Amino acid sequence: MKKLFIALAIAGASVGGAHAQSAVEIYGVVDMGFVAESGTTPTATTKVTPVNKLTSGVQSGTRLGFKGTENLGDGMKALFVLETGIAADAGGFNQGNTAFARQSFVGLQSDLGTLTLGRQYTPLFNTMLIADPFAAGMAGAGQNLLVPAGNIRSNNTVKYTSPVFGGGFTTEIAYGLGEAVDNSSKGHQSSAALNYSANDLKLSLAYSDWSVVGTTTNLRKDWFLAANYDLQIAKIFAGITDTSDATITGNALKSNDYLIGAQLPVGKHTFIASYINKDVRNAANRDANMFAVGYTYAFSKRTNLYAAWGRIDNDSLAGFAANRSYTVGNNSELGTGEKAFNFGLRHLF
**Structural contact between residues 285 and 315, judged by C-beta atoms closer than 8 angstroms:** yes
CA pair distance 49, 46, nearest whole angstrom: 9
Query: Which pLDDT tens digit goes with each residue over 128-142?
Result: 999 999 999 999 999
Task: Report the relative pairing of strands 76-85 and 113-121 from DSSP bridges.
Answer: unpaired
Choose among 139, 146, 136: nearest CA to 329: 139
For the chain, percent of residues with pLDDT exceeding 90: 70
Return the higher-pLDDT residue of 258 and 96: 258
**Structural contact between residues 293 and 273, judged by C-beta atoms closer than 8 angstroms:** yes
Q: Which domain holds residue 79?
A: 4-348
- Is pLDDT above 70 for 76? yes
Query: Which pLDDT tens digit goes with each residue over 56-70?
Result: 999 999 999 999 999
| Residue 296: per-residue pLDDT | 98
Question: Taking every pair of C-alpha atoms in the chain, what is the biggest distance, in angstroms?
Answer: 71
- Is pLDDT above 60 for 326? yes
Query: Which pLDDT tens digit goes with each residue over 134-169?
Result: 999 999 999 999 988 778 999 999 999 999 999 999
- Is pLDDT above 50 for 14? no
Residue 274's CATH number = 2.40.160.10
**Structural contact between residues 62 and 46, judged by C-beta atoms closer than 8 angstroms:** no
**Segment holding 128, helix H or strand E:** helix 123-131
- How many distinct structural domains can be found in the chain? 1
CA pair distance 158, 68, nearest whole angstrom: 19
- Is pLDDT above 90 for 269? yes
Q: Is 130 left (phi over 0), alpha (psi -120 to 50) or beta?
A: alpha
| Residue 231: per-residue pLDDT | 97
